[in-house]
A = this chain, B = another copy of it.
Amino acid sequence: MALTGKNLIAGQWTGETENGFVAFNPALNQPMTTRFADATDAEVEQAIVAANKAFYPYSQLSAEKRAQFLDTIGEQILALGDDLVKTACAETGLPEARIIGERGRTVGQLGLFANLLRGGEYTAVIDKADPAREPLPKPDTRLGYLPLGVVAVFGASNFPLAFSTAGGDTASALAAGCPVVMKAHTAHPATAELVAQAISSAITLCELDSGVFSLIQGENYGIAEQIVKHPLVKAVGFTGSERVGMILQAHINQRPEPIPFYGELGSINPQFVLPAKLAENPAEIAQGLVASMMMGQGQFCTSPGVWLVVDGEQTEAFEAAVKASVEAQSAGVMLSPAICRTYQQTVAKWQDIPGVSLLAFGQQGESHLAQAAVFTTSLATFIEQAELQEEVFGSTALIVKCSEASELLQFVSALRGNLTASIHAADADISLAGELAIPLAHKVGRLIYNQMPTGVEVCASMNHGGPFPASTNVRSTSVGSEAIKRFQRPICYQNLPAELLPSLLKD
């Protein structure tokens, strides 16, 4: 199916594309040709109202029907074939192997939730009646879960498939029984449209209400405000920058009715290289960190942005290995010109921060490409300069050289919330690792030992979230099967006859 450039509003492709916006091919450094509509207020309203209308019938579907729908979306995404891969590569500058891998993960996520639904989407808690209890009889009470209602999802720039149109937020919301109104990221509107076509086909094949999914295109920022303030929207999922996330949060705070906002924002993912580990093989750990930093051109939310070492005999060898490794890195394509510009400006700015030194640049490329960069600083400077705790989206890292091991604990104490942290330790480091692990756990959503933070398992025990600003809602994960809980809420059924109970709550 050809691209329309339009919005998908409850089954209809609508909108004026003539004066619309275009995507950009960051690898070719040139705009693309398809024009995309800016959704109007009326279209956004129509999408949300249709989603709300679809809510009760959709939420009443059996778990098996919802599972079939998720599986069908996955099949339809695969049926898009090479078109989808080529389009996503063109719009994001990400390599084909990565997009194919991400497509697999996206389909896998849909399958994970389908399996969850088939296995029982929640664990029922049943306390039966005890009419003989004194002083008062105990009624029959059963705890189940209901979907929240219409969920708004904002696509992420850095995962055009796995955190976008049919990504983790959409999959978990649909699994929970919530219709989704999706705002496509402006950097990959064609990828979004193709995936929306797949979802639309799945809706038709599964004979569902077309209001279950709508795709909103548009550069006009007012669209986001309209969506998150809408009284029929009952939860919002977002992955992006702290700056944009906090604008959405401010809009949501103006609602008369509070709703959950699942914003996955910034993270610097500190890497603690403990002394014995560093001594074992400084070059190996250096190369491992640089490789992790370079993944996706540093555009992973779990990119290791700060590396801590205790200054000692091995520091020089470590820094030399980092330098050699960074200098061998080619300049790379970033997701969009705006992202690349921000990265370049931040790297330039860091060179002027007193107490921060440039250790190494990667290879220089054309002006639209990003050059890797690693800096060094002291703990005192890191603590003084608040901006060093802000995520720099791209292939850069800051080595914080601590004068002694106790400074690692001071660092943890000053640290804001993060998605992840890794402790790299040898056997001789175990006692220091234990001391660090306790306070560090309270600052992160995932605590890692001797592994790099990039690469997030999609499984039941994953947590992708963490204290603010890693997430605006520390009690939730945006990856893994627990993500469905963001869009469900508890309900107690008291003394209900069996025929009125949800199937999971019957005897």
Contact = CB atoms under 8 A, between A and B. Distances in A.
A469 B255 CA distance: 13
Nearest to A125: B461
Interface in A223-263: 249, 253, 257-258, 260-261
Copies of this chain, tallied across the complex: 2
Interface in A11-46: none
21 contacts: A56-B438, A60-B438, A127-B460, A136-B455, A139-B457, A143-B461, A143-B482, A146-B442, A260-B475, A437-B500, A447-B491, A451-B495, A457-B494, A461-B492, A463-B490, A463-B491, A465-B489, A466-B491, A474-B489, A475-B488, A482-B490
Contacts of A441: 146, 491, 493
Size band of the interface chain A makes with B: 35 or more
B500 A457 contact: no
A468 interface: yes
A447 B489 contact: no
Interface in A32-72: 56, 59-60
Contacts of A445: 490-492
Interface in A96-114: 101
Interface of A: 56, 59-60, 101, 125-127, 135-136, 138-139, 141-143, 146, 148-149, 249, 253, 257-258, 260-261, 430, 433-434, 437-439, 441-442, 444-451, 455, 457, 459-463, 465-469, 472-477, 482, 485, 488-497, 499-500
A27 to B, nearest CB: 24
A56 B430 CA distance: 20
A141 B492 contact: no
A455 B135 CA distance: 12
A150 B497 CA distance: 42
A487 B442 CA distance: 13
Contacts of A463: 143, 490-492
Given A143-B460, A472-B258, A451 B494 contact: yes
A460 B488 CA distance: 18
A410 to B, nearest CB: 15
B430 A257 contact: no
Nearest to A55: B442
A204 to B, nearest CB: 25
Nearest to A148: B474
A491 B470 CA distance: 13
Given A143-B463, A446-B492, 11 more contacts: A60-B438, A138-B457, A141-B457, A141-B462, A146-B441, A430-B497, A437-B500, A441-B491, A457-B494, A465-B489, A477-B490
A489 B148 CA distance: 20
A495 B460 contact: no
Nearest to A448: B494
Nearest to A460: B125
Contact of A499 (B139, B434, B455): B434
A283 to B, nearest CB: 22
Contacts of A127: 457, 459-461
A459 B449 CA distance: 38
Residue among A260, A467, A488, A492 facing the most chain B CB atoms (10 A cut-off): A492
A468 B249 contact: no
Contacts of A465: 489-490
B56 A495 contact: no
A287 to B, nearest CB: 18
Q: Report which residue of A135, A444, A463, A494 has the largest number of chain B beta carbons within 10 angstroms of its beta carbon.
A: A494
B460 A496 contact: no
A448 B492 CA distance: 8
A499 B430 contact: yes
Contact of A461 (B60, B126, B447): B126
A138 B491 CA distance: 36
Contacts of A496: 437, 447, 449
Nearest to A505: B461
B249 A141 contact: no
A475 B259 CA distance: 10
A390 to B, nearest CB: 13
A126 B462 CA distance: 9
The 5 closest A-B pairs by CB, nearest first: A463-B492, A253-B253, A143-B461, A446-B492, A125-B461
A257 B494 CA distance: 37
